[in-house]
Structures are given as C-alpha cells and as structure tokens.
Chain A
Amino acid sequence: MTAVTMDVAAAPPRKRMSEEKFWAIVLIAPYVVVFALFVVYPVLYGFWLGSSANSFKKLFQDPIFVTTLWNTAIFVLVAVNLKMLVALGLSAFFILEYRWVRWLSVIFIIAWAMPSIPTILSVRWMFNPEWGLVNNLLFKWFQIEGPGWLTERHYGLTLAILMHIWKSLPFWTLILVAARLAIPRDLYESADVDGATRWQRFRFITWPAMRAPYMTSVLLSSIWTLGDFNSVYLLTGGGPNDSTQVLATLGVRYLRIDQIDVGMAAVICALPAILPMVFFLMKRLSRVDEQ
C-alpha cells in the first residue's frame, strides 16, 4: 500500500530517486539476499534434485517407505490433536487468578524454554529397557519385567509422540491462554445473568471466540510437527529396524547415506498434505498482518 507517484506531464521529471525510496531498497536488500541464497535457491535446487523419476523409483522400492508414511500420519495426527486438546483444556486452568497457578505457569513454560536435546536424552535413558529408571522401578515395586520401550515400534512411536507433546505443549497453551484472555469478561457476566451452565458458557461464548485461533494453531502445529526431527531421531534413532522413521528422519537418513535426491523425493511426498495447509494459513496470517 504505497502512495502511487503520478507525475503529470506538466511536472518536470524527477531528477533522482527520492531519498526514501533509495533507503527503502538498501535496507530491504539484506533480507532479499538471505532469502534468495538460503531459501529460493535451495528449494528450487532441491525440487530439481528430487523430481527425477529415478529418485521416486528408489524411494518407492525402499521397504520402509510405506511404514514411514504410516508413522508420519499417526505421529502428526495424534500428536497435534492430543496436544491442542490438552492445551485448550489447560488454557482454562492457566487463566485462573490464583498465585500458585501463576507460579505453576512459570514452571510449566520451562519445557519450551529449554533446549530439547538434554531432556530427550534424559527420557531415552529413563526408558532404557535394561538400565533405565522406569523398568528398574517396575521390577523393584511390582516385580514386572518392563518391555523394551524404545526397541518396540508401538512403544517407541508413542514415546516419541509424548516427547514431542512435552516439548511443544507450553507454547500452544500460552497461545490459547492469550486467545482466552482476549474474550471480553462482560460476555461471561451477561451469560451468568442469563443463567448459562458451564457447558453453555463454553459452547456459546468461549468456543466461537477460540475457534479461529484454535484452527490456525492446529494447522501451524501440524506443519511444524511434520518437521520435528529431534523427538524421533534422538529417542529411537528411527529404529528398531527403521520401524519408527517419519518423513523428517527418513529424508535426513537418505541425506546421510548420500542419496539426497531420494531424500528430496521423500520430502516432496509430503507436499499434497502441506500445500493446502500452507494456503489456508497464508490467508489467515496475512490477514492478521494487515490489521
């Protein structure tokens, strides 16, 4: 939205660019350079690498590919929905105005503030089948031989999902708390006067106001969850026998064995799922930016 410069023929032509225009171009230049060198070129190059029929042939012939697709779908669907539902519930808890709730929210955020590697490694060790705390306690207290948590596909995937939720739950709770706080108090007061039940208050006031931020959060979180490498790689390493790989770790796995084109092909396979979400999010986010 810039004022359009309309020089009528009568006015003498501008001798030089206005100072504002000059600096506008100079100041935007660093970002444009960064964007061109480290986003545009890599993405185009990556597509070029991954778009050969041969890469896809190799990918589809890899027996772990189908498992990976399933794992990815389960990982994203379960992790995102579980996380967002819990965050929605917790946001109601964290807006309570008790001092101890305030303090708890300060503690709660630590999972998001900390780097994820140390805690993932901590959990990995906690669930180590032979030496980990969990199985040791199971044996000590109940004389049960605990399962091989990280060496069985279902347990491994479950723990990876929980790990992902542990890390990102505080952030999304914070977002939904902010959305809840944006709802005017007097709506609830007038609902109370009208004799609304707790459920009706949620159904007719909270949810209508929260729906848009909640859906945006679900979409954004889905994309970021697709790109979560750490929770799976550092916990199970994709094992046992590549049975817990997701697209993020599979792509990197190909890269590490020098088959970057197959890695890119794997990434391209996620596009049909990503693009509609990106389209929808861009509409939402750029509308926010406009305001």
Chain B
Amino acid sequence: MASVELHDVRKVYGGSITAIHGVDVEIPDGEFVVLVGPSGCGKSTLLRMIAGLEDITGGEVRIGAKRVNELPAKDRDIAMVFQSYALYPHMTVRENMGFSLRLRKAPKDEIDRGVANAAQILGLTPYLDRLPRHLSGGQRQRVAMGRAIVRNPQVFLFDEPLSNLDAKLRVQMRTELKALHQRLKTTSIYVTHDQVEAMTLADRIVVLHDGKVEQIGAPLDLYDRPANQFVAGFIGSPAMNFLGGTVRRSNGAAAVAMVDGTRLPLPAGAKGGDGQQVVYGVRPEHLALGDSGMGFPLVVSVVEPTGADTLVFGTVGGSEVCAVFDERHAFKPGETVHLAPKGDRVHVFNADDGAAL
C-alpha cells in the first residue's frame, strides 16, 4: 500500500490540445479518492496517466514517494478495474484472476490460494471454472475486482466500474465496494461521472472540469461549502437552483433582487456588497413552504410525487426552480406557493467567475 501524489500533472495531445492543466492532488495511504466530473473533463485521462497507460506530458506522478513517470504500467504495482471489465474472454474466472500472479511466475499453490481467497471475499467460488461470457453483468464486475484483489497491489484504480450495470445492481455493488475498501484499506482512486457514487464512496472527492481541479474535499464539505457555482451545481441531486440578481442591503436586511423585482432573502451573515451582481443558489431540499409574506413566490408548473418525497417544479421571476418536500403536496399547475430557504443554507456566487462569496 502506498500514497499517490500528483504534482502539476499535465497532458497535451499533439502539442496543442490540452486535456489536463496542471493537477495537484495528494492521496495519503489507504484513502479512497473519487475523481468526478462531467464527461470530457479529463478524469479518465488522469487515471490512465497514473496507471501508465498514457504518457505524462508534464509534472510528476509519485506512487509511494517514488516517481513513476517513466515506469511502464506493468512495473507500477497497481491494479485497475475497467468500465468494460476487460476480462480475457478465453480464460476462465480462475485464470482471469490468477493471470497477474502467473505472469509474475508465482508458485502454483500461491496462485491457487490467492484466487481462492479473492473468490471467497467476492462470492465467486462456485463460478471459478466458468468463462466470462457465461456470467451475468454483476458477476463479471466481481471478477474484474477479484482480478485486482488477487494482486494485492499498492493502489486500486477504478475507471467507471459500475456504469455498465443496471440501477439496482449498481447500488448493491457500490455498497460492496465500500465494504471491501473498509476491509482491505488499499489506496483507491475511483473515476465516475455519477456524483451520488462519488458522495457515497469517497473519503475525499476531486471535482474536475475541463481538465482543471475545481475543488478537493470530503463529500459533505463539497455539499455544504462548494467553492464555486460549478461544484455547487454538480454535487447534489436534484441540482442546486441558481437565480441571477443584484444584492440589495438596507437597514441591516439583505436580499438579492431579480430583474423582475422578486426579492430573494439573504441570511444575516451573507457576503456581497450592495449593488453587486451575484448568482443566488439554494438546493431544492433546503426550500420550505412559507406564508405569503415570507421568501419568494413560485408559480408551479409540474409536480412529481416519487412516494418518498415530492418534487415541485416551477418558475421564480422567469427562472426554473425545483423544490423537494418530505411531505406530500397536491399543488395545481399555475398555483402560486411561497418558498423560503431553510436556516441560512443559501449560497451566493460572484456572477462574473462563479466563485463562492
């Protein structure tokens, strides 16, 4: 097991297209880090650079304090789980899982022991002599993980390992993966575009956007204190509502005034000077129903009851807003309800660069 450090890591394709713009991350031994971001943000490229599958254009990657830029993938002592699983179709589960040990010329009984152990952890023992094409999607996924476990590597790398599974199985495997990490405590780097996966699995999350790190932090830190509008909108589901306006302060009370005059109340400690252009952000789950004097009016357009909670979509001052309630409500389209942010859970971002104020 080992730490992983990225220092100013850059990737340039063909001399001109920059995929990664200088990423700095330090991952201590045993940590589970998730790289998350929309597709094309460079998260997979970054992972493949750590794995040794892509050349590193600039900067430095260290595994266990050792610089590995020039080290081929096979010598980095890492294991990787691919999105497509990349199981060798002509090898049985047993052969797939034992392949790395076989290449390392490990004695046969050591291979057998390693495979049996991993199979037992993952519940694959009955399937050891099957070929991958005779397994279900979830079983294949387990074999891919088993192949990584058998190695007992310094670092696990996961490249969207759950995205080929159906929704139900994905949730189940997510839980198993978390339990597995708690048991093995191997440093893990996990790439996904799914922020729920990121939130549930990670010790720390690295949010990437256009090849740059937007924010690094523990899941709830990112949720509670997003550094900018991008992170705020990316983390959390349904996504945070954003409303543009101007800060108005008078007599100690503060609000954001939208173009049509709608006033969005700001908590007492909120930053932003009088007259400043801002984006007002509030999560759907942080909106509560209020009386006509409080908060701001929402004109309901669609109500979606999911059973557990109720999603209400509508417009505030011409902008789309979503609110989530634990209780059940039967609003009619066109009806106006009043919403107020709970407590002081309002975020204000600079309108120019999206940075949190």
A19's partner among B12, B13, B14, B72 (CB-CB below 8 A) is B72
- Determine if B64 is an interface residue (Cβ-Cβ < 8 Å): no
A6's partner among B55, B59, B69, B72 (CB-CB below 8 A) is B55
Task: Tell me which residues from 1 to 33 in chain A have a Cβ below 8 Å from any Cβ of chain B.
Answer: 3-6, 8, 10-12, 14-15, 18-20
Is the pair B15, A10 in contact by a Cβ cutoff of 8 Å? no
A8's partner among B13, B54, B58, B70 (CB-CB below 8 A) is B58
Shortest Cβ distance from residue B346 to the other chain A in the assembled complex, whole angstroms: 44
Is the pair A6, B15 in contact by a Cβ cutoff of 8 Å? yes
Is the pair B72, A5 in contact by a Cβ cutoff of 8 Å? no
Shortest Cβ distance from residue B353 to the other chain A in the assembled complex, whole angstroms: 29
Is the pair A18, B57 in contact by a Cβ cutoff of 8 Å? no
For the residues of B in contact with A, the DSSP-based class is loop
Shortest Cβ distance from residue B49 to the other chain A in the assembled complex, whole angstroms: 11
Is the pair A12, B55 in contact by a Cβ cutoff of 8 Å? no
Shortest Cβ distance from residue B350 to the other chain A in the assembled complex, whole angstroms: 34
- A51 CA to B13 CA, complexed, in Å: 47
Contacting residues, chain A, for B12 (C-beta < 8 A)? 6
Contacting residues, chain B, for A12 (C-beta < 8 A)? 70
- A57 CA to B190 CA, complexed, in Å: 75
Is the pair B70, A4 in contact by a Cβ cutoff of 8 Å? no
B54's partner among A3, A14, A15 (CB-CB below 8 A) is A3
Contacting residues, chain B, for A20 (C-beta < 8 A)? 72
Given A18-B72, A19-B72 in contact, is the A10-B14 Cβ separation under 8 Å?
no
Q: Which of A4, A6, A12, A15 has the most CB of B within 10 A?
A: A6
The interface bits of chain B over 1-24 (1 if a CB of A lies within 8 angstroms of the residue's CB, else 0) are 000000000101111000000000
Contacting residues, chain B, for A6 (C-beta < 8 A)? 12, 15, 55, 57
Given A18-B72, A19-B72 in contact, is the A11-B14 Cβ separation under 8 Å?
no
Task: Tell me which residues from 52 to 89 in chain B have a Cβ below 8 Å from any Cβ of chain A.
Answer: 54-59, 69-70, 72
Q: Which of B13, B15, B58, B72 has the most CB of A within 10 A?
A: B58
16 A-B contact pairs sorted by A residue (CB < 8 Å): A3-B13, A3-B54, A3-B55, A4-B14, A4-B15, A6-B12, A6-B15, A6-B55, A8-B57, A8-B58, A10-B58, A14-B70, A15-B70, A18-B72, A19-B72, A20-B72
B interface residue numbers (CB < 8 A to A):
10, 12-15, 54-59, 69-70, 72
9 A-B pairs with the lowest CB-CB distances in the bound complex, closest first: A8-B58, A6-B57, A5-B55, A4-B14, A6-B12, A3-B55, A8-B57, A11-B69, A10-B58
- Further contacts, 20 of them, CB under 8 A, given A6-B55, A19-B72: A3-B13, A3-B54, A4-B13, A4-B14, A5-B55, A6-B12, A8-B10, A8-B57, A8-B58, A10-B58, A10-B59, A11-B56, A11-B58, A11-B69, A11-B70, A12-B70, A14-B70, A15-B70, A18-B72, A20-B72
